[in-house]
Chain A
Amino acid sequence: MSAKIRKLIVQVDETRVEMGQALATPTRKAVAMAVIENPYAGRYAENLDELVAIGEELGGLLGGKCVQALGIAPAQAHSYGKAAIVGSAGELEHAAAILHPRLGAPLRTAVGQGAALVPSAKKIGGLGAAIDVPLGHKDAAYVRSHFDAIEARVADAPRAGEIVVAVAVTDSGRPLPRVGGLQASEIQGKDGLR
């Protein structure tokens, strides 16, 4: 079945100056959120296939929304992340069913490629609960300049029988990275790590 979506929200956070330092290229982080009905709310279901299919659908939809909002070609995406907040009539495993089995492949298509793991977070939460969506470089998980997070939050969701699903995509790393480590310019991009 396809996702029953009540709301879609897309945010772009553009930083031009940080600590008085103007950035040569502003950093931009997008997060797209869908508020969906939880088909398994209020009961224990052994098989969570409906949410697995919803995750696949939302990976492409939300990933595409982020890329569109950033106004970039898919290949220009730098980092990505995903998260879900399950309303109180659901269980944490519902978030896992959306996020882990099949959301990644269509998200990677939306951002051109992506050899690295898509970092994730999940929780049970009420209306307006915030979740910090972890971000990592899409081709090499060890790129230190791109370890980051963006907050996702919907003021009137999730209601008890809903789930907030968030996908984040950036076209940059942190504003003023200077703690060393692997640089984006040094990556091989083959094993997903370096």
Chain B
Amino acid sequence: MIEIRRVFTQVEDIFHEFGPAPARPLRRGAIGAVLTNPYAGRYVEDILPAMQALEPVGIDMARQLLAAMDVPADSIQGYGKGAVVGEAGELEHGALWHVPGGYAMRELLGWKGDRKADAQTGQHGNALAIVPSAKKVGAPGTTLDVPLIHINAAYVRSHFDAMEVRVPGAPRAGELVVVLVMSTGPRVHARVGGLTAAEISKWDGQR
């Protein structure tokens, strides 16, 4: 049902943005898989079979992205996801990516799917926050600004970010580009206050 035609990865190290360079550069990575859209060119009511078919794609992409970033899973602090639907598809086809993309990444980063707190830290597993997303219908080479947030608390202000992802030449009309992004830290010169990662205390995915 799903055929992967291309896989595009991008890893960037941000040393500074004209301010004081942090001791460790910020690393952000993105992976985009170019897939056939099984529902291109017509309206199909029941599109859930494709969501299931995307599950192994998500797991594979999350692993490939972490490998390309060349960092351990526990150093990932931010994540996001997105999709670009080729012109013979509809926006709803992009929504197929929410579950298989988001949970693949969260599980890789330690999400356990339960509320059992660690006795030492009070932390309920890892990757507790909802994976933010963006989607659009677009032409080959369309850019998508994929939002990023902190993996454990959606209100951590230092980790609100976005990464521009673009696969030259894709999606063609009958294709989907599905995207995952991860980062190793806050914005490179984060300094606008708000909840900090050190202050996460509720472990409810938000604060």
Which residues 115-160 of B sit at the A interface, judged by CB distance below 8 A?
143
> Roughly how many angstroms separate A7 CA and B9 CA in the complex, as a whole number?
16
B164 within 8 A of A: yes
Complex partner residue of B6 from A8, A16, A155, CB under 8 angstroms: A16
CB-CB under 8 A from B15, the residues of chain A are 5-8
A13 and B164 contact, CB distance less than 8 A: no
Check A11/B10 contact, CB under 8 A, given A17-B3, A69-B68, A155-B164: yes
B16 within 8 A of A: yes
A46 within 8 A of B: no
CB-CB under 8 A from B11, the residues of chain A are 9-11, 69
A7 and B164 contact, CB distance less than 8 A: no
User: Which of chain A's residues has its CB closest to B168's CB?
Assistant: A151
> Roughly how many angstroms separate A17 CA and B8 CA in the complex, as a whole number?
13
- Majority secondary structure of chain A interface residues (helix, strand, loop or mixed): strand
A15 within 8 A of B: yes
Min CB–CB distance A36 → chain B (angstroms): 10
A6 and B6 contact, CB distance less than 8 A: no
CB-CB under 8 A from A15, the residues of chain B are 5-6
> Roughly how many angstroms separate A150 CA and B68 CA in the complex, as a whole number?
19
A144 within 8 A of B: no
Complex partner residue of B12 from A8, A16, A17, CB under 8 angstroms: A8
How many chain B residues touch A (CB < 8 A): the figure is 22
Min CB–CB distance A109 → chain B (angstroms): 22
Which residues 1-47 of A sit at the B interface, judged by CB distance below 8 A?
5-18
CB-CB under 8 A from A6, the residues of chain B are 14-18
A-B contact count (CB 8 A): 58
A13 and B6 contact, CB distance less than 8 A: yes
Check A18/B13 contact, CB under 8 A, given A12-B68, A153-B166, A155-B164: no
Give residues in A with beta carbon < 8 Å to B.
Answer: 5-18, 69, 130, 150-151, 153, 155
A18 and B5 contact, CB distance less than 8 A: yes
> Roughly how many angstroms separate A52 CA and B87 CA in the complex, as a whole number?
45
Check A12/B8 contact, CB under 8 A, given A6-B17, A151-B168, A153-B166: yes
User: Which of chain B's residues has its CB closest to A149's CB?
Assistant: B168
B4 within 8 A of A: yes
> Roughly how many angstroms separate A153 CA and B3 CA in the complex, as a whole number?
27
> Roughly how many angstroms separate A9 CA and B18 CA in the complex, as a whole number?
17
User: Which of chain B's residues has its CB closest to A150's CB?
Assistant: B168
B173 within 8 A of A: no
Nearest first, the 6 closest Cβ-Cβ pairs linking A and B are A155-B164, A9-B12, A17-B5, A151-B168, A11-B10, A8-B13
> Roughly how many angstroms separate A14 CA and B7 CA in the complex, as a whole number?
5
CB-CB under 8 A from B16, the residues of chain A are 6
CB-CB under 8 A from B4, the residues of chain A are 16-17
